[in-house]
Homo-oligomer: A and B are copies of this chain.
Protein backbone atom coordinates (compact mmCIF):
# COMPACT_ATOMS: atom_id res chain seq x y z
CA UNK A 1 0.00 0.00 0.00
CA UNK A 2 0.78 3.72 0.05
CA UNK A 3 3.50 3.28 -2.48
CA UNK A 4 3.72 6.79 -3.82
CA UNK A 5 4.05 8.19 -0.32
CA UNK A 6 6.45 5.55 0.90
CA UNK A 7 8.54 5.98 -2.20
CA UNK A 8 8.84 9.69 -1.57
CA UNK A 9 9.88 9.16 2.04
CA UNK A 10 12.44 6.56 1.14
CA UNK A 11 13.93 8.91 -1.40
CA UNK A 12 14.27 11.56 1.30
CA UNK A 13 15.83 9.13 3.73
CA UNK A 14 18.55 8.52 1.18
CA UNK A 15 19.03 12.17 0.32
CA UNK A 16 22.64 13.16 0.88
CA UNK A 17 23.66 16.40 -0.82
CA UNK A 18 27.14 17.90 -0.88
CA UNK A 19 28.15 19.75 2.25
CA UNK A 20 28.77 23.46 2.12
CA UNK A 21 30.95 23.70 5.21
CA UNK A 22 33.76 26.24 4.91
CA UNK A 23 37.23 25.09 5.87
CA UNK A 24 37.29 27.13 9.04
CA UNK A 25 33.84 26.24 10.28
CA UNK A 26 35.05 24.64 13.51
CA UNK A 27 37.58 27.34 14.10
CA UNK A 28 34.96 30.04 13.66
CA UNK A 29 32.65 28.54 16.20
CA UNK A 30 35.39 27.73 18.71
CA UNK A 31 36.58 31.27 18.64
CA UNK A 32 33.10 32.74 18.68
CA UNK A 33 31.93 30.62 21.60
CA UNK A 34 35.13 31.30 23.49
CA UNK A 35 34.61 35.02 23.07
CA UNK A 36 31.29 34.78 24.83
CA UNK A 37 32.24 32.31 27.53
CA UNK A 38 32.85 34.99 30.10
CA UNK A 39 30.38 37.59 28.96
CA UNK A 40 27.79 38.11 31.72
CA UNK A 41 24.10 37.61 30.93
CA UNK A 42 23.11 40.76 32.83
CA UNK A 43 19.67 39.32 33.37
CA UNK A 44 16.69 40.90 35.08
CA UNK A 45 13.43 39.35 36.24
CA UNK A 46 10.21 40.75 37.59
CA UNK A 47 7.14 38.90 38.78
CA UNK A 48 4.06 40.18 36.97
CA UNK A 49 0.36 39.75 37.43
CA UNK A 50 -1.42 37.00 35.51
CA UNK A 51 -5.00 35.80 35.55
CA UNK A 52 -3.59 32.27 35.73
CA UNK A 53 -3.28 31.64 39.42
CA UNK A 54 -1.47 28.36 38.87
CA UNK A 55 1.53 29.97 37.19
CA UNK A 56 4.29 32.37 38.21
CA UNK A 57 5.07 34.77 35.40
CA UNK A 58 8.36 36.64 35.29
CA UNK A 59 9.13 39.25 32.74
CA UNK A 60 12.85 38.87 32.22
CA UNK A 61 15.60 40.28 30.09
CA UNK A 62 19.07 39.01 29.41
CA UNK A 63 21.87 39.84 27.03
CA UNK A 64 22.89 37.73 24.05
CA UNK A 65 25.20 38.65 21.23
CA UNK A 66 25.49 42.26 22.35
CA UNK A 67 24.03 44.56 24.98
CA UNK A 68 20.50 44.64 23.57
CA UNK A 69 18.10 43.70 26.37
CA UNK A 70 16.36 40.57 25.12
CA UNK A 71 12.88 40.08 26.54
CA UNK A 72 11.55 36.72 27.59
CA UNK A 73 8.91 35.12 29.74
CA UNK A 74 10.11 32.86 32.47
CA UNK A 75 7.20 30.80 33.71
CA UNK A 76 6.98 28.25 36.50
CA UNK A 77 4.33 26.16 38.15
CA UNK A 78 3.19 27.77 41.40
CA UNK A 79 4.63 25.51 44.01
CA UNK A 80 5.13 26.03 47.67
CA UNK A 81 8.22 23.90 48.05
CA UNK A 82 11.71 24.58 46.82
CA UNK A 83 11.42 22.19 43.91
CA UNK A 84 13.50 22.59 40.77
CA UNK A 85 11.64 22.15 37.50
CA UNK A 86 12.86 20.83 34.20
CA UNK A 87 12.75 23.78 31.84
CA UNK A 88 11.68 24.13 28.23
CA UNK A 89 13.31 26.92 26.24
CA UNK A 90 11.08 28.07 23.42
CA UNK A 91 12.21 29.74 20.20
CA UNK A 92 9.49 31.21 18.03
CA UNK A 93 9.02 31.19 14.27
CA UNK A 94 10.12 33.91 11.88
CA UNK A 95 8.43 37.23 12.49
CA UNK A 96 6.82 36.04 15.69
CA UNK A 97 7.42 36.79 19.34
CA UNK A 98 7.76 35.20 22.73
CA UNK A 99 3.97 35.12 22.76
CA UNK A 100 1.81 35.18 25.87
CA UNK A 101 2.31 33.18 29.04
CA UNK A 102 -0.95 31.36 28.36
CA UNK A 103 0.56 29.79 25.25
CA UNK A 104 2.75 27.69 27.52
CA UNK A 105 0.17 26.73 30.13
CA UNK A 106 0.26 23.10 29.04
CA UNK A 107 3.95 22.87 29.87
CA UNK A 108 3.27 24.34 33.31
CA UNK A 109 0.55 21.73 33.84
CA UNK A 110 3.09 19.07 32.92
CA UNK A 111 5.49 20.34 35.56
CA UNK A 112 7.94 22.23 33.36
CA UNK A 113 9.26 25.70 33.77
CA UNK A 114 9.36 27.59 30.47
CA UNK A 115 11.61 30.30 29.08
CA UNK A 116 10.11 31.79 25.96
CA UNK A 117 12.30 34.38 24.33
CA UNK A 118 11.84 37.07 21.76
CA UNK A 119 14.07 36.76 18.73
CA UNK A 120 15.58 40.22 18.42
CA UNK A 121 13.93 42.83 16.28
CA UNK A 122 10.95 40.67 15.34
CA UNK A 123 7.41 41.28 16.51
CA UNK A 124 7.81 41.00 20.26
CA UNK A 125 8.87 43.98 22.31
CA UNK A 126 12.57 43.36 21.81
CA UNK A 127 14.52 45.75 19.60
CA UNK A 128 18.08 45.34 18.44
CA UNK A 129 21.26 47.33 18.72
CA UNK A 130 22.90 45.63 15.79
CA UNK A 131 24.06 48.23 13.37
CA UNK A 132 23.02 47.66 9.78
CA UNK A 133 26.23 48.17 7.78
CA UNK A 134 24.78 47.92 4.27
CA UNK A 135 21.47 47.97 2.43
CA UNK A 136 18.98 45.17 2.88
CA UNK A 137 15.68 43.88 1.62
CA UNK A 138 12.53 43.65 3.73
CA UNK A 139 12.88 41.32 6.67
CA UNK A 140 15.50 40.44 9.22
CA UNK A 141 17.72 38.08 7.30
CA UNK A 142 19.75 40.30 5.03
CA UNK A 143 20.95 43.18 7.23
CA UNK A 144 24.62 42.41 7.78
CA UNK A 145 24.56 39.27 5.64
CA UNK A 146 27.77 40.10 3.77
CA UNK A 147 29.93 39.00 6.68
CA UNK A 148 29.57 36.16 9.16
CA UNK A 149 30.52 38.56 11.97
CA UNK A 150 27.69 40.99 11.25
CA UNK A 151 25.14 38.40 10.15
CA UNK A 152 21.76 38.32 11.83
CA UNK A 153 22.05 34.55 12.11
CA UNK A 154 25.19 34.94 14.19
CA UNK A 155 23.39 37.26 16.61
CA UNK A 156 20.29 35.17 17.03
CA UNK A 157 22.28 31.94 17.35
CA UNK A 158 24.23 33.48 20.21
CA UNK A 159 21.04 34.93 21.68
CA UNK A 160 19.49 31.48 21.55
CA UNK A 161 22.53 29.73 23.09
CA UNK A 162 22.58 32.25 25.91
CA UNK A 163 18.84 31.88 26.42
CA UNK A 164 19.49 28.27 27.34
CA UNK A 165 22.18 29.46 29.75
CA UNK A 166 19.82 32.03 31.25
CA UNK A 167 17.12 29.40 31.65
CA UNK A 168 19.62 27.14 33.34
CA UNK A 169 20.68 29.90 35.69
CA UNK A 170 17.23 30.46 37.18
CA UNK A 171 16.90 29.03 40.67
CA UNK A 172 13.65 27.27 39.78
CA UNK A 173 15.29 25.46 36.84
CA UNK A 174 16.98 22.09 37.07
CA UNK A 175 20.16 22.70 35.05
CA UNK A 176 20.37 19.05 34.13
CA UNK A 177 16.99 19.12 32.50
CA UNK A 178 17.05 22.02 30.04
CA UNK A 179 15.23 21.26 26.79
CA UNK A 180 14.76 23.18 23.59
CA UNK A 181 11.74 23.48 21.36
CA UNK A 182 10.73 25.54 18.39
CA UNK A 183 9.23 25.45 14.93
CA UNK A 184 10.56 26.77 11.64
CA UNK A 185 13.07 29.49 12.64
CA UNK A 186 12.60 28.20 16.16
CA UNK A 187 13.36 24.68 15.00
CA UNK A 188 16.47 25.85 13.22
CA UNK A 189 17.64 27.55 16.39
CA UNK A 190 16.86 24.49 18.47
CA UNK A 191 19.12 22.46 16.19
CA UNK A 192 21.98 24.90 16.04
CA UNK A 193 21.96 25.39 19.83
CA UNK A 194 21.92 21.61 20.21
CA UNK A 195 25.01 21.50 18.03
CA UNK A 196 26.90 24.31 19.73
CA UNK A 197 25.94 24.21 23.41
CA UNK A 198 26.23 21.60 26.12
CA UNK A 199 23.36 23.08 28.12
CA UNK A 200 20.35 21.40 26.47
CA UNK A 201 19.65 17.73 27.13
CA UNK A 202 17.12 17.10 24.34
CA UNK A 203 15.44 19.15 21.65
CA UNK A 204 12.41 19.23 19.43
CA UNK A 205 12.81 20.92 16.05
CA UNK A 206 9.50 21.18 14.24
CA UNK A 207 9.83 21.86 10.50
CA UNK A 208 13.23 23.51 11.07
CA UNK A 209 14.81 26.14 8.87
CA UNK A 210 18.58 26.86 8.71
CA UNK A 211 19.09 23.48 7.00
CA UNK A 212 20.71 22.88 3.58
CA UNK A 213 20.39 26.54 2.82
CA UNK A 214 21.98 26.36 -0.63
CA UNK A 215 18.96 24.31 -1.65
CA UNK A 216 16.49 26.43 0.27
CA UNK A 217 17.68 29.72 -1.17
CA UNK A 218 17.18 28.33 -4.66
CA UNK A 219 13.89 26.52 -4.14
CA UNK A 220 11.95 27.54 -1.05
CA UNK A 221 9.67 30.42 -0.15
CA UNK A 222 11.16 30.70 3.32
CA UNK A 223 12.98 33.69 4.77
CA UNK A 224 15.84 32.61 2.54
CA UNK A 225 13.88 34.20 -0.26
CA UNK A 226 15.00 37.46 1.31
CA UNK A 227 18.59 36.42 0.77
CA UNK A 228 17.67 35.45 -2.78
CA UNK A 229 16.07 38.85 -3.35
CA UNK A 230 19.15 40.54 -1.89
CA UNK A 231 21.39 38.67 -4.32
CA UNK A 232 18.99 39.46 -7.11
CA UNK A 233 19.58 43.15 -6.37
CA UNK A 234 23.30 42.73 -5.66
CA UNK A 235 24.38 39.81 -7.87
CA UNK A 236 28.03 40.51 -7.10
CA UNK A 237 27.40 39.36 -3.52
CA UNK A 238 26.18 35.84 -4.28
CA UNK A 239 29.27 34.14 -2.96
CA UNK A 240 29.49 36.27 0.16
CA UNK A 241 25.92 35.49 1.02
CA UNK A 242 26.33 31.76 0.51
CA UNK A 243 29.57 31.86 2.47
CA UNK A 244 27.91 33.60 5.39
CA UNK A 245 24.99 31.20 5.42
CA UNK A 246 27.27 28.17 5.41
CA UNK A 247 28.49 28.94 8.93
CA UNK A 248 24.96 28.67 10.27
CA UNK A 249 23.74 25.74 8.21
CA UNK A 250 22.59 22.78 10.27
CA UNK A 251 23.53 20.62 7.30
CA UNK A 252 27.12 21.33 8.28
CA UNK A 253 26.62 21.44 12.03
CA UNK A 254 24.33 18.45 12.55
CA UNK A 255 27.14 15.94 13.22
CA UNK A 256 28.07 17.91 16.34
CA UNK A 257 24.73 17.13 17.97
CA UNK A 258 25.07 14.78 20.97
CA UNK A 259 21.55 14.83 22.45
CA UNK A 260 18.24 13.20 21.54
CA UNK A 261 16.42 15.07 18.81
CA UNK A 262 12.87 14.93 17.49
CA UNK A 263 12.33 16.54 14.09
CA UNK A 264 9.15 16.95 12.10
CA UNK A 265 8.64 17.56 8.42
CA UNK A 266 5.72 18.14 6.07
CA UNK A 267 6.09 16.72 2.59
CA UNK A 268 4.10 19.66 1.23
CA UNK A 269 6.05 22.34 3.04
CA UNK A 270 7.25 24.89 0.47
CA UNK A 271 9.07 26.87 3.13
CA UNK A 272 11.16 24.41 5.12
CA UNK A 273 11.20 21.89 2.32
CA UNK A 274 11.54 18.19 3.06
CA UNK A 275 14.83 17.99 1.18
CA UNK A 276 16.33 20.56 3.51
CA UNK A 277 14.99 19.02 6.70
CA UNK A 278 16.05 15.48 5.78
CA UNK A 279 19.47 16.63 4.58
CA UNK A 280 20.28 17.83 8.08
CA UNK A 281 18.40 15.05 9.86
CA UNK A 282 20.25 12.37 7.93
CA UNK A 283 23.55 13.68 9.28
CA UNK A 284 22.62 13.63 12.97
CA UNK A 285 24.50 10.86 14.74
CA UNK A 286 22.77 10.91 18.10
CA UNK A 287 19.41 9.41 19.10
CA UNK A 288 16.84 10.86 16.74
CA UNK A 289 13.33 10.48 15.44
CA UNK A 290 11.63 11.97 12.38
CA UNK A 291 7.90 12.59 12.30
CA UNK A 292 6.84 13.02 8.71
CA UNK A 293 3.43 14.30 7.60
CA UNK A 294 2.70 13.46 3.98
CA UNK A 295 0.07 16.14 3.41
CA UNK A 296 1.20 18.91 5.74
CA UNK A 297 2.58 22.21 4.64
CA UNK A 298 4.40 24.73 6.79
CA UNK A 299 2.59 24.25 10.03
CA UNK A 300 2.85 22.24 13.22
CA UNK A 301 -0.18 20.09 13.84
CA UNK A 302 -1.85 19.45 17.17
CA UNK A 303 -0.78 15.85 16.96
CA UNK A 304 2.85 16.80 16.46
CA UNK A 305 2.68 19.18 19.40
CA UNK A 306 1.38 16.34 21.53
CA UNK A 307 4.22 14.09 20.40
CA UNK A 308 6.64 16.82 21.41
CA UNK A 309 5.03 17.04 24.84
CA UNK A 310 5.43 13.31 25.29
CA UNK A 311 9.00 13.37 24.03
CA UNK A 312 9.89 16.08 26.52
CA UNK A 313 8.03 14.35 29.35
CA UNK A 314 10.03 11.21 28.62
CA UNK A 315 13.34 13.04 28.67
CA UNK A 316 12.35 14.95 31.81
CA UNK A 317 11.72 11.51 33.31
CA UNK A 318 8.20 12.38 34.28
CA UNK A 319 6.08 9.40 34.97
CA UNK A 320 3.46 9.45 32.25
CA UNK A 321 1.73 6.17 32.89
Chain A: residues with CB nearer than 8 A to chain B?
A: 1-5, 7-8, 17-18, 20, 22, 49, 51-55, 77, 95, 97, 99-100, 102-103, 105-106, 108-111, 118, 121-129, 131-140, 143, 212, 214-215, 217-219, 228-236, 238-239, 242-243, 246, 267, 293-296, 301-303, 305-306, 309-310, 313, 318, 320-321
Q: Which residue of B lies closest to A296 (CB)?
A: B232
> Which listed residue, B1, B231, B294, touches A231 by the CB 8 Å rule?
B294
User: Are A135 and B131 also in contact (CB < 8 A) when A53-B109, A231-B294 are?
Assistant: no
Pairs A–B under 8 Å by Cβ, sample size 17: A1-B239, A3-B214, A51-B310, A52-B106, A53-B110, A54-B108, A100-B305, A100-B306, A102-B106, A102-B109, A108-B109, A127-B135, A128-B132, A129-B132, A218-B267, A218-B294, A232-B295
Chain B residues with CB below 8 A from A232, complex form = 293, 295-296, 301
Report yes or no: A124 in contact with B128, Cβ–Cβ below 8 A.
Answer: no
CA distance A216 to B152 in the complex (A): 32
Report yes or no: A102 in contact with B305, Cβ–Cβ below 8 A.
Answer: yes
Copies of the protein in its oligomer: 6
CA distance A242 to B2 in the complex (A): 6
Chain B residues with CB below 8 A from A125, complex form = 134-135, 234
A117, chain B: closest CB distance, angstroms: 12
CA distance A138 to B94 in the complex (A): 10
> Which listed residue, B55, B111, B239, B313, touches A109 by the CB 8 Å rule?
B55
Residue from A140, A214, A230, A236 whose CB has the most chain B CB atoms within 10 Å: A214
> Which listed residue, B77, B295, B302, B309, touches A51 by the CB 8 Å rule?
B309
A87, chain B: closest CB distance, angstroms: 16
Report yes or no: A109 in contact with B54, Cβ–Cβ below 8 A.
Answer: yes
Report yes or no: B127 in contact with A133, Cβ–Cβ below 8 A.
Answer: yes
Report yes or no: B22 in contact with A1, Cβ–Cβ below 8 A.
Answer: yes
Report yes or no: B233 in contact with A97, Cβ–Cβ below 8 A.
Answer: yes
